A and B are shown apart, each in its own frame.
Chain A
Amino acid sequence: MAAFRVGDRVRVRTNDPPTHMRTPAFLRGKVGVIERDQGPFGRPEDLAYGRAPRVGTVYRVRFRQREVWPDYRGGPRDTVAADLFEHWLDREAS
């Protein structure tokens, strides 16, 4: 079952495993908002080694650029979104 709902605030985990993963470094530790439930997908960390994958929900998570980049020079409303696996997300108090 999906762990988060649209509108929930989440923080991306800061793990740094020496493995294949699809969580970009620039978003680790950052707080964003769940924008869309993309459905269930196999974990890249399992699929990358040919293992039967554990399955989890992927969410499109939206981040304010000014929170991602302290030196961000664009508009104040600019955002960046990425599709992240639920095992990389922790709930953040709103």
Chain B
Amino acid sequence: MSHDHDDHDHDDHDHRPPQPDDPVSRYEALEQALRELLIEKGVVTADGLRRTMEVLESASPENGARIVARAWSDPAFKELLLQDGQAAVASLGMGPTGRFVVVENTPERHNVIVCTLCSCYPRFVLGFPPAWYKSRDYRARVVHEPRAVLAEFGLKLSDDTEVVVSDSTAEIRYMVLPQQPPETKGWPEEKLAGLITRDCLIGTAVARA
């Protein structure tokens, strides 16, 4: 295994925001050409594409926060969420999500999500992944040195905690159910949802009151 395969300094491409005066790149032009031809041939419709973009845009970490706030407040919902994530999410009027598994953080266990082979992410719930989630550095390192990666996010876990890394290698998408801060028991769901960030749902942060 090429353990010291470290000749990539190209991830910067994934982070470079396009500049206003950038010329239309070959790939922007190519996307336009493919899209126009596919519409002309009736393979896709402009309307269908617009609706697909709307579906993608409508997902966001706020969905995940709502799911978690409900799970913290309603034990029956939490049980359903852990057993059948897609059914639980559908019961809140979200989705369809595809196969969706929620993994629970406990005082003994901390979960973190990755996709080492590409960049699978629960996008139908949480929206587009952050750039770092798609980066080679995160994907390469978090399965081998999760504690070092989590420390970069300011998260230091005791050696007694079991760190569980879930690698999304098939068509199952994962989300973390963070632990509820004890002092927030009994808070209304909207207030609880405000504590839950995107990174809590990936597992690179914990919820704090």
Interface residue ranges, A against B (CB under 8 Å): 22-26, 36, 38-39, 41, 44, 58, 60, 62, 65, 69, 72-85
B82 CB, nearest partner CB in chain A, Å: 11
- In the bound complex, what is the Cα–Cα distance between A12 and B75 (angstroms)? 36
Sample 7 A-B pairs with CB under 8 A, ordered by A number: A24-B116, A38-B170, A39-B99, A69-B144, A80-B143, A80-B164, A80-B166
* B interface bracket (residues with beta carbon within 8 Å of A): 20 to 34
A25 to B169, CA, bound (A): 11
- Name the distance in Å between A63's Cβ and chain B's nearest Cβ: 10
- Is B145 an interface residue when CB atoms closer than 8 A count as contact? yes
Dominant SS among interface residues on chain B: loop
Q: A22-B117, A24-B116 are in contact. Are A81 and B165 (CB under 8 A)?
A: yes
Q: Which 9 A-B pairs have the closest CB atoms?
A: A83-B170, A77-B162, A75-B159, A82-B167, A80-B165, A78-B163, A82-B169, A74-B147, A58-B170
Judged by a CB distance under 8 angstroms, whether B52 is at the interface is: no
A36 to chain B, nearest CB (A): 8
Q: Is the CB–CB distance between B167 and A75 below 8 Å? A: no
Do residues A79 and B143 form an inter-chain contact, with CB atoms below 8 A? no
Whether B159 contacts A72 by the Cβ 8 Å rule is no
**Which residues of B approach A to under 8 Å, CB–CB?**
1, 99, 101, 116-117, 143-148, 157-172
- Whether A79 pairs with B172 at a CB distance below 8 angstroms is no
Chain A residues positioned under 8 Å from B168 (CB to CB)? 83
When distances are taken between beta carbons in the complex, the residues of chain A under 8 Å from B144 are 26, 69, 72
A20 to B160, CA, bound (A): 38
With A26-B143, A58-B170, A74-B146 already in contact, 6 other A-B pairs whose C-beta atoms are closer than 8 Å: A24-B116, A24-B167, A39-B99, A75-B163, A81-B167, A83-B168
CA distance A8 to B167 in the complex (A): 20
Contacts of B165 in A (CB 8 A): 78-81
Given A82-B167, A84-B169, verify A75-B117 contact (CB < 8 Å): no
Contact A75 B161 (CB under 8 A): yes
Max chain B C-beta neighbours (<10 A), residue from A62, A74, A85: A74
Q: Which of A23, A39, A58, A74 contacts B145 (CB 8 A)?
A: A74
Q: Which of A69, A73, A76, A80 contacts B167 (CB 8 A)?
A: A80
